[in-house]
Amino acid sequence: MNRNHSEGTALFTQHLKKATVVSIINTISELNQLQDVDLILDSTLREARALAKADAGSIFLLRNGELEFRHVQNDSIFGMSGAGLFQYSTESLPVSDSSIVGHCALTKAMVSIDDAYAIDEKLPYRFNSSFDEKNGYRTVSILAVPLISRGHSLVGVMQLINAKDRKNRATVFSEQVKALVPIFTNNAAALIERSILNRELILRMAKMAELHDPKETGVHVQRVSAFCAELYQRWAENRGLPRLEIRRFRDIISHASMLHDAGKVGIPDSILKKPGRLTPEEFDVMKQHTLYGAQLFSNISSESSALDRVTHEIILHHHERWNGTGYPHGLSGEAIPLAARITALADVFDALSSKRSYKEAWSAEMTFAEIRKESGQHFDPELVEIFFQITGILHAIQMKFQ
Ligand code: C2E
Ligand code: SIN
Ligand code: SIN
Ligand code: FE
Ligand code: FE
């Protein structure tokens, strides 16, 4: 039951229907436009599942020698709306024979299982039924595919669960599916690798801006980025925006918001690292971080990428307030770009709930009360309402990036 199918690929591709090839090419070109690793994982898994008619699937990425759980879809349990806070699970598996995913990573070969509850005793790995038990699910067939970039480097493992027959009953994965899926996943692996490097580069830029505490800045920036992505997504879904537009902008805001304080590179350490309260004069200097940062992105024109434009908006306007009392320009209401309104809420939520050099962390109750109080004052009231609809997901993000 553990076979390597890559030899069969060339043969099968000759017999592919043109429509299937066109659909793969279209998906690959759509994937190429995405920056964000989570969106690439989501598209990759969705398309691979469509190709394989699989009910569910998950992706694990190799990080620090472990396989980190990164993405899950399951039509039977979560439906099309996505897995919500399951997406922020912190589970990880060793690269070893102890699990199917671990074995797939160890051997860099596809593992195909026809019945998860009847795995040959002689095989080294066992099926872990805890997900089934927790969720009342029944796993039958499994296809674990290594994600290999540039022909050699292992990025992670994708697991497809329960191939469906015409009557939607679980069946085995066909030989054609086993030949097709790797074509797709090998390309996706290269994109995943690129997007991880991109994100690390942006994160490094963000950390440089706040060298006083690069460790703390790292997680602050990642939390703000994830809060922004989730707040935007709910805002856009409430308005019924098209799915593709939502994905594109979510991708942009998750990257752009990481750089919201990039202008702090221009603030003297004596102010940036001050342990206590700032004097009014010092605070006036501190406020310049919005303008310094915007200068880094000042040659913005109609030809600039959407990512550059939104990054500029966020850096310049993330301290504006809904009622017009913020800085640097005192804009109010919808004159403040949406991305900046979202980042303002995400940034303050994180600043209040975290310890800073100049303040202790606030309790969740005090933080929530403050955000509620500032609805329509500091913050866009529509966004505050969304904030309180997704506190579960926001909490999962805090747990993940501690
Ligand atoms: P930050 O620490 O990332 O805080 C971001 C924003 O969160 C602040 O923007 C403010 O709107 C909100 N915030 C943070 N802590 C508190 C708090 O204790 N109470 C309330 N009500 N809001 C809070 P703001 O005020 O424009 O400050 C911008 C940046 O200036 C801060 O970023 C921080 O780096 C610095 N800063 C502000 N006040 C002080 C201070 O008293 N001492 C020091 N050392 N730095 C300060
Ligand atoms: C910028 O360089 O874009 C910021 C200048 C401003 O609008 O205040
Ligand atoms: C609220 O809606 O104000 C309560 C939010 C919470 O504590 O989770
Ligand atoms: Fe700031
Ligand atoms: Fe901040």
Q: Note down pLDDT in tens along the chain; length 402 residues.
A: 444 444 444 444 444 444 555 555 555 555 556 667 777 888 899 989 999 999 999 999 998 899 998 888 888 887 655 556 566 777 889 999 999 999 999 999 999 999 999 999 999 999 999 889 988 899 999 999 999 998 889 999 999 999 999 999 999 999 999 998 988 898 889 989 988 887 777 777 777 766 555 556 688 899 999 999 999 999 999 999 988 788 889 988 998 999 899 888 788 888 988 888 999 999 999 999 999 888 877 776 666 678 888 999 999 999 999 999 999 999 999 999 999 999 999 999 999 999 888 889 999 999 999 999 999 999 999 999 999 999 999 999 999 998
**Block residue for tokens 């390597």:** 4
Tell me which fold the domain 213-400 belongs to.
Hypothetical protein af1432 (1.10.3210)
Nearest CA to ligand 1 atom 42: 277
Q: What's the pLDDT at 10? A: 41
Domain positions in the chain are: 15-195, 213-400
Residue 220 CA: which ligand is closest?
A: 5
- Ligand 3 cavity residues, CB under 6 Å: 368, 372, 388, 391
Q: What's the pLDDT at 97? A: 93
- Which of 291, 296, 329 best tests ligand 2's pocket when mutated (most atoms within 8 Å of CB)? 291
User: Does residue 181 contact residue 145 with C-beta atoms inside 8 Å?
Assistant: yes
Name the residue among 242, 248, 180 with its Cα closest to residue 24: 180
Tokens describing residue 390: 């997704």
Q: Do domains 15-195 and 213-400 have the same CATH topology?
A: no
Tell me which fold the domain 15-195 belongs to.
Beta-Lactamase (3.30.450)
Catalytic-labelled residue, pool 108, 215, 264, 273? 264
Residue 327 CA: which ligand is closest?
A: 1
Give the Å distance between the CA of 43 and the centre of ligand 1.
38
Q: What's the pLDDT at 11? A: 41
Burial of 383 (0-12, 13-18, 19+ CB in 10 A): buried
Active site residue 355: no
